[in-house]
Amino acid sequence: MTLREEIADFLGRKRIAVVGVSTETNHFSRSMFRELIKRGYDAIPVNPKAEAIEGRRCFASLQAIDPRPDAVLIMTPASQTDTVVGDCAERGIEAIWMYRAPGAPGAVSKTAVEFCRENGIHVIPGECPFMFFPRPGFHGIHGFFHKLVSPALRQ
């Protein structure tokens, strides 16, 4: 699959766990979480430091979620990504997005990306989901220009 196809596949899944969603209401991960809810996703917060986020029960780990999510958006530091990807593989989750904002490492881990590819897990190593939602508003402008210059997204 091309990167664009991976993105379409991921966004076509409706039950998405957001690992690393912050307890701070003004944090970017919370904006992303709220946007997923607004767009009709069954967004599941995963953060061991919270009982609830945005009025939804928060889980300490992916293993605690039943039924399992269709996909996982990782918003942790990259140092935690290998562990999260291992948890995804253990749960049989086949679609992972490692969030990354422009100019920042984000959640992308080279070893986790390799693990996903070797184990048949669909992975999006970087990018910001906001840029790929239909009618994304301000983020769409950034996404438009990013798609023009990124060879992987022009396919």
The pLDDT assigned to 137 comes to: 52
Q: What gap in Å lies between CA 30 and CA 45, rounded to an integer?
A: 10
As a 3-state breakdown, the chain gives helix, strand, coil percent values, each rounded to 5, of 40, 15, 40
Which structure tokens are listed for 55? 């009025």
The pLDDT assigned to 105 comes to: 78
* Per-residue confidence in pLDDT tens, the chain, 155 aa: 888 899 999 999 999 999 999 999 999 999 999 999 999 999 999 999 999 999 999 999 999 999 999 999 999 999 999 999 999 999 999 999 999 977 777 999 999 999 999 999 999 999 889 888 876 454 444 444 444 444 554 44
Domain boundaries, the chain: 3-153
| Number of Cα atoms under 13 Å in the Cβ half of residue 78 | 13
List beta partners, residue 95.
Answer: 122
The pLDDT assigned to 139 comes to: 42
- CB-CB neighbours of 86 under 10 Å: 13
The pLDDT assigned to 132 comes to: 87
Map residue 46 onto helix, strand or coil.
strand
Q: Smallest Cα–Cα separation from 57: which of 41, 70, 75, 42?
A: 42
Which structure tokens are listed for 64? 């605690």
Classify domain 3-153 at the CATH superfamily level.
Answer: NAD(P)-binding Rossmann-like Domain (3.40.50.720)
The pLDDT assigned to 135 comes to: 65
The pLDDT assigned to 152 comes to: 52
